């Protein structure tokens, strides 16, 4: 029996085949049967944007460190841009890791 959050009559189904952690509910009939994430496109985008965001992080951090009082832009906005680029770089790295793991699983590798 499902827990109270599942609603009456909705038993969770294993998500082992989709690569997601946790459970999902049976199809409602409105979503495509063969819906899949475009993993190769995500791999390409993460591979391109990861080095760009890392370079942006380094560039803005060095620029912020070298800025003096009264410079425009000041060190505050440059530091904020460095942090934003760093977060985006971490997101791209995480996505790259997830996509590689899913592609490996699709190809039948267990390692």
Over residues 101-107, the mean pLDDT reads 85
The reported pLDDT for the residue numbered 95 is: 95
Question: What mean pLDDT is predicted for residues 77-98?
Answer: 97
Task: Give the single-character DSSP code of 23.
Answer: E
What residues does each domain of the chain span? 4-106
Q: How does the average pLDDT of the chain come out, rounded?
A: 80
Separation CA 86–CA 94 (nearest Å):
12
What's the rounded Cα separation, in Å, for the pair 46 and 52? Answer: 10
The structure tokens listed for 55 are: 């370079």
Lookup result for tokens 């906005």:
77
Query: Cα–Cα distances in Å, from 73 out to 80, 81, 82?
Result: 11, 11, 13
- Spatial separation of the C-alpha atoms in residues 85 and 44, rounded to whole Å: 18
Mean pLDDT of 49-70: 96
pLDDT score of 105: 84
Residues forming a β-bridge with 13 = 24
Q: Which of 26-30, 94-98, 104-108 has the lowest mean pLDDT?
A: 26-30
DSSP classification of residue 13: E
């Amino acid at each position: 029996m499902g827990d109270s959050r599942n609603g009456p009559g909705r038993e969770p189904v294993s998500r082992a085949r989709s690569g997601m952690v946790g459970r999902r509910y049976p199809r409602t009939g409105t979503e495509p049967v063969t819906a899949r994430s475009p993993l190769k496109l995500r791999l390409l985008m993460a591979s391109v944007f990861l080095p760009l965001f890392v370079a942006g992080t380094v560039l803005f951090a060095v620029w912020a460190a070298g800025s003096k009082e009264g410079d425009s832009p000041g060190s505050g906005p440059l530091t904020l841009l460095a942090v934003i680029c760093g977060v985006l770089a971490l997101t791209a790295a995480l996505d790259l890791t997830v996509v590689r793991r899913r592609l490996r699983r699709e190809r039948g590798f267990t390692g």
